[in-house]
Each structure stands twice: as structure tokens, then as C-alpha cells.
Amino acid sequence: MRKLIDFPFSKVLVLGLAKSGTAAAKILLANGIAVKVNDMKLKEEDLEVKELQEMGAEVIVGSHPLSVLNGMKLIVKNPGIPYENPIIVEAEKRGIPVITEIEIAYRLAGDSIIGITGSNGKTTTTTLITEFLNESNKQAKVAGNIGIVATEVAQSLRENETMVLELSSFQLQGVETFRPRIAVLLNIFEAHIDYHKTFDNYKQAKFNIFKNQTSDDYLVYNAEDPTINAELGNVTANLVPFSVKRKMDQGAWLNEESIYFKDEKVIDLKDIVLVGEHNLENILAAIAATKLNGATNEGIKKVLSVFAGVKHRLQFIDNIQGRLFYNDSKATNILATQKALSSFHTPVILLAGGLDRGNEFDDLAPYLKRVKAMVVFGETKHKLRQLGQNEGIEVIETVENIEKAVERAFSISDEGDTILLSPACASWDQYRTFEERGDMFIQAVHKLL
């Protein structure tokens, strides 16, 4: 098991447990650090509490008293806890650093990290990078925001292994020394403003992925993203661009027939089964990052010839009586749904709706040209119905939930149609997670058989 590198903090407060907090606390305890744990939701009798107490942690549950800060030198904060939390506010007043669990993972893994962030495409790109490397006999393990706790992977990482780390803005806001050897920045658009408060705060959190990089490191970036390009003057790492629109002498690009890395042809487009122009961007980013890490064209081709998408991310489900069903439940914002709609050239029946965050959906209007019908649900159903009516979509159905949406979409569909779940909204008004929403869609599709 790896030990922490350059960790000068003797007393640490882990604020908020869940999977990442529990893992971080265990790592700290295993490295001889005095750990105090504070969680609002857990109870004294819960298994996690008893286990950490047995390992030597002081555990305070049920409330967030400011006294938990006494004597603390560092806070490891659960990414979901906002910075307005009174303990965080007080810690900043006292000059106590606040980090997230990925900083602990970095202190374990060192320079064995490829980090991936962006507003969209993180999970697909992270998965592709991992598979490209493994198929090229370059051992890689996936971790991070993809659902696998980074510290757990980092502590067991072998000398020749790379940790491929999906990173959210919530995680990246809490880093100090974190420095991936290869950073991948896919795209940036306005998102998570309810957490970050301003677009500038959100951008700066994303830019933390490269803030500690040096001239020994690499930043793989989207050459067509204006927000990213405006920040390149602050990058010290070697710049490796990717573009779906033009040749990149020092990066990944494509023409009408093939994908290239610099001047080397990697794969013909006809051999790629993953649909969508946005996925071409993800593929280019993954190719650039892995070619820098020794991936082979043969390994890349092997993956792309069979890889049909990550679950809940423009995932093909089934062909039922000539209707193609796609699950894009991960489309929790408008840009993701724009990209999904741009991926199809068949008539589309769009299933959309979910949590109302106060935004309108006018930016979806130009992407509705192939949408022949809409089935809307959730808190935003009335806004989406109005959008469809404004765009002249004649068939717009309002239903209670995903299951009813699938049934209604199938009943109004014709052979050759694509039935697409791409909600453009978070799931939390009706479902605990986008995964649960997507699973309900898959189950409902299978009931049609």
C-alpha cells in the first residue's frame, strides 16, 4: 500500500463522509494522522462510524458544531458540501486549508495521473483513455467522479500503472498541490452556478486542473473552445490541442476519412462505432492523451471498433420494430442535449424534462429541426412544452414519469424513428440520480419487447 507523499498535516478534519470521505479518513489513519470526522447525516450506531472509531478516529455525527475545528490543521471536505457551510467559512477565517479527497489521492499517486475534466464528455473520455491504455499493454485504473473513489485506487496503484481520474469542478475547487502529468480539458460552458455562484468561479475551478503543472507536463485541450483558448497564456505545461475542424500539427485532428495524431494516421472514421460529433471530440482528446502515454494505434483501433458508449451517455439500448432507443440520461444540461440531438439524422422523438433550476430552454430551439414529437415530464414539462409549441412541433405529450414517457413515445412512433431520452435537466425532482433515471428508461424499453 502506498504512503502519503509530502503531507505535513498532523491533525485533519474529514467533513462529510460518504464513500470518498470514508476512504480519505482511512488512508489518513493508516498514515498515522490524527483524524476527526464530522457528518450531519450519520448516526452513532452506523457501521462506518463504528469502523472509523475502532481505527482511532474521533467521530462527531448529527450536527456541525464549530468546535470540531479546534486543533485542526487541515480540512478534507466532501465535494458536495458548499463553501458557505459555517465550518468552511470559519476555517477560512482561521487560515485552515480546505481540500477535497483528490488532493489526498495525488499525495499517494504522484506523477502517475491522467486527469480529465470539462462540462461534458468526462466519463466517455475517461473510459476511452483507460481502455486505450489497457489494450496497448499500458496498465491503467479508472477513478474519481466516475464513481470509483480516487484514494482507494491511488493507495493500491502499482509502479507501472496509471490512474485515469475523472474530475468534477466540485473536486477541483479543493486542490492545492494536485498536478496530473497529463491534464485533459474538454470544454467549458456555464454549469453548476447554484454551487459556484458565478461562471468565473466555475471556470477557475476547472482551470485548477493545470494550475500546478510544469514544463514537464502536458495539457490536452479543445482548440475550438473559446473559454479555454482565452486562458492558455496562463498554462505552463506543454500544449497538445485537438480539433474536429482543422489540422493540429501538435495534436489530434481529423479529416473526412480518418483521425490523426500529429501527422500519423490512427484510425479511419468508418471503423468507429460510437455516434455523435461530440464523441469525436472525446475520441480525439483520448487519443491525444494516450499517445502521449505510449498507447498503440492497434490498441486504439481495437477499442473504437467495438465501443458503443458509456451507460447513460447516448447509450444504444435496442431496436424494437424499427425504432432505435437511446439512453442519454446523463444529459443533465442543455448543451448535452444539443449534442445528442446533433448526433442523429433520423426523425427523433425527444423525451425530456426534470429538475427546474430556473433556466429557460430557448438554446435548444435550433436543434429541434429533426424532432417530430416530444414527450415531456418532471418540473420543467411546461417550459419544454412551450418550447416545442414555439418551434412548431405538432405532437407534444405530457406524462408523469420515464416509464409512461417510453410507452407514449413508442405508441406515437413510426418505423425508422429514434426515441431519445436526453432530459436537458437534472433528475432530482423525481429520481435520486441520473443513473436511476436511465435505468428506469432501460427497464421500460425492455418491457416493450
Question: Does 177 show up as a binding residue in the annotation?
Answer: no
**CA angle in degrees (0–180, nearest 5) for 236-239-244:** 150
Cβ-proximal residues to 96 (8 Å cutoff; 6+ apart), any chain: 69, 72, 73, 74, 75
Strand order across the beta sheet in which 11-15 lies: 58-61, 34-39, 11-15, 74-77, 98-99
Q: Are strands 323-327 and 315-320 parallel, antiparallel or unpaired?
A: antiparallel
Task: For residue 347, give the nearest of 333, 376, 368 by alpha carbon.
Answer: 368
Cβ-proximal residues to 369 (8 Å cutoff; 6+ apart), any chain: none
DSSP 315-345: EEEEEETTEEEEE-TT--SHHHHHHHHTT--
Instruction: Give the integer Cα–Cα distance in Å for 428 and 5.
Output: 39
Instruction: Give the integer Cα–Cα distance in Å for 321 and 98.
Output: 55
Contact 441, 402 (CB under 8 A): yes
Question: Does 214 show up as a binding residue in the annotation?
Answer: no
Instruction: Give the integer Cα–Cα distance in Å for 129 and 113.
Output: 12
Question: Does 120 show up as a binding residue in the annotation?
Answer: yes
Question: Does 238 show up as a binding residue in the annotation?
Answer: no
Question: Does 123 show up as a binding residue in the annotation?
Answer: yes
Contact 182, 209 (CB under 8 A): no
Residue type, 395: V
Question: Does 121 show up as a binding residue in the annotation?
Answer: yes
Question: Does 124 show up as a binding residue in the annotation?
Answer: yes
Residue type, 301: K
Contact 164, 114 (CB under 8 A): yes
The annotated binding site for ATP is made up of 118-124
The annotated binding site is made up of 118-124
